[in-house]
Structure 1
Amino acid sequence: MMKFMKRALSLLISAMLLLGCFALAEEAPLLPIAIVSYDLTDEATTAALSALIEPKENALTRWERVVLSDGREAWVICQFDQATMSNAWSRVIDAETQEVLQEDTTDTGFFATAQARWESAKGIYALWSIQDKMLFDRLYAMAPCYGEPVEGDLTQEEALAAALNVTGLTAADYDAVGYGYIMGSSEQNGTWQVFFVKGSEVVSTVNLDARDATILLVEPDEEGNG
């Protein structure tokens, strides 16, 4: 009987600790998961956006309508000060109630607080999927440039092989590999980004031409800079 009571007490304490851990765990951050289409010629949409956007002098305003991780639709609105090229403001606003769900500001031109919110759910930026990097860039960058590989580009495996060749890294030097893709133009090929990660640190980054594997950037360089 005593053994049974001790066992029951042990299980009860374990359950309480487990519940305590769940209680202390932070609520998952609310994140955009996809961009949805909308009709900008629709008068109701135009009126709603006019009410949501606060005009700022010299500001470039960008917005997208998104689905959030809780199923709601929202507007992600960013304004960039074109005079300073560094001050910017962002709001995530419920599309139905106009409630402000999130606000971010920056004086560096980069929304670090928004990225930190995403990283708390997805892990470090280097290991986000290409699609997540593209979505974040489209929502929060003044001039979005991230995309997906196109026909004729090197495969992900070919980009990795080229990056390994230039860095000389071995399997013991990294735990995981992340990828990004910067879109090209009619005059310039796209760019593969390859991130080598050990633990939670990026140990090396390689940018290479997505068509011919020309190395564009290696960090750290041969002198250890970067």
Structure 2
Amino acid sequence: MKFVEYADSEMMAIDLANIVAAELTEALHQNDRVCLAVAGGTTPGPIFDALCAADLDWTRVDVMPTDERWVPEDHARSNAGLIKQRLLVDRASAARFLPLFMPATRPEDVLPELESMIAPALPIDVALIGMGEDMHTASLFPDSDGLAAALDPHAPILVPIRRPDLPESRVTLSARVLRAATCKHVVFRGAAKKEALTQSRHLPDIEAPIQSVLSDATIHWAV
């Protein structure tokens, strides 16, 4: 695990956008198509704003969320909506988007269809992963229904996640799929999350799910 500290979040966003663009370009030299998995939330937005203008062959790039709330993409809390508004614009508008949501009452009703679209794009070439103060990543939340299944070494591609305090059901890429990414970047801001990362180093994955994806990852942190 490598830790990179930045003076501010703007510098971090620009640097990470350049790194991800370079890694995608290198992957495109070796493969017909490449896969980029990205987190939702507020931190990746500025990275998307810089990355969307990168000069690479976006027509050969598949983009997917690392996780999704079970809401339509026009919902304010949709990760797909954020990704389409801030990443899949400019040159990156030519990329192909792979959703983690389909209209259905429960994720379980359509998981086979979603996985059938995602499976051909795997393994992930570049993953941009977030982390919460509770040490969750993607939708791998501590004390959630589905976490043990998502952490299992033989987990499926997608796992539904539920917890009483979460407003919606979630669907997440399993730890197995995230861990298999060729290049992994964990990005977050603030002293509280930095302390959470330190604490996670002494806890099992089931208590600190971020630990399940840190192997060979680069951590990017700004105040």
**TM value normalised by structure 2:** 0.24
**TM value normalised by structure 1:** 0.24
Larger radius of gyration: 1
Instruction: Name the one with the larger strand percent.
Output: 1
